[in-house]
Amino acid sequence: MIEDGQTIPSMLDALKEEYDIETTSYSIGGVAFSFVSVRDSYALLDRISPEDFVKDEQMPYWAEIWPAAVTLSEFIVNDLDVRDKKIVEIGAGLGMTSVTAARMGADVLSTDYSGEALRFIRLNALKNNVSLNAQQLDWRSVGCEERFDMLFAADVLYERVNLLPILNAVESLLKPDGYAYIADPRRRVAQQFLDLVLENGFSVQSYARNYMRGDHSISLTIYRLSKFRSEDD
């Protein structure tokens, strides 16, 4: 939620004092969006204390808009009906997927482990004239008791140690008849995640997609996870 008195200029000014930021326009499924991000996420590495890195090995992945987030957002606009659905995003980063879902009429809880990310999510929601809730969430220990119709995650399958916690988070957060949509740039570790998913009773539907921005092209897959059989499984 946006705190009382906060405006786009005031939030931008506060962020500019701490980060080198930029604003980028996107057309997602023909819908215009604008997102604020960190110009150089690697510059944030100096902000991570050795103690915090030993504790969490936390990297500033949240600070960039990744191709998987763009691709998943396009999938939401073009291929899903999220209107009036209760949706949670894990590892939301700057909130592109969450903001897109909210723009399409969903009731969205946008989460990330990084408290820094939440400030950008709230700003990006305000810039795109949508309402959502942004909260900190650690997928290793999900404290949220709410259950959701859909769960979204973009490019979260990058470390083997995260695979089981992510699967447990999916199981904890989804309603029994819910779907999880995970967009991945075809990392090798994703296959290990799919093995875990199938071993734990989920069914999987795959959607091949291609990300294009300028001359940049990446092949991605969106995995739909569910624990019940639907007509198109």
Q: Spell out the per-residue pLDDT of the chain, length 233, in tens.
A: 455 568 999 999 999 999 999 999 999 999 999 999 998 876 676 666 556 554 555 678 899 999 999 999 999 999 999 999 999 999 999 999 999 999 999 999 999 999 999 999 999 999 999 999 999 999 988 988 899 999 999 999 999 999 999 999 999 999 999 999 999 999 999 999 999 999 999 999 999 999 987 788 999 999 999 997 665 65
* Count of CB atoms situated within 10 Å of the CB of 47: 11
Q: Cα–Cα distance between 79 and 59 in angstroms, integer?
A: 32
Domains of the chain: which residue ranges? 8-226
Q: Which fold has domain 8-226?
A: Rossmann fold (3.40.50)
Q: What's the predicted TM-score (pTM) here?
A: 0.91
Q: Cα–Cα distance between 172 and 144 in angstroms, integer?
A: 8
Residue type, 192: Q
| CB of 197 closer than 8 Å to CB of 225 | yes
User: Cα–Cα distances in Å, from 171 out to 61, 82, 133, 184, 201?
Assistant: 24, 20, 21, 19, 11
Scan for tokens 């997609």, then name that residue. Answer: 209
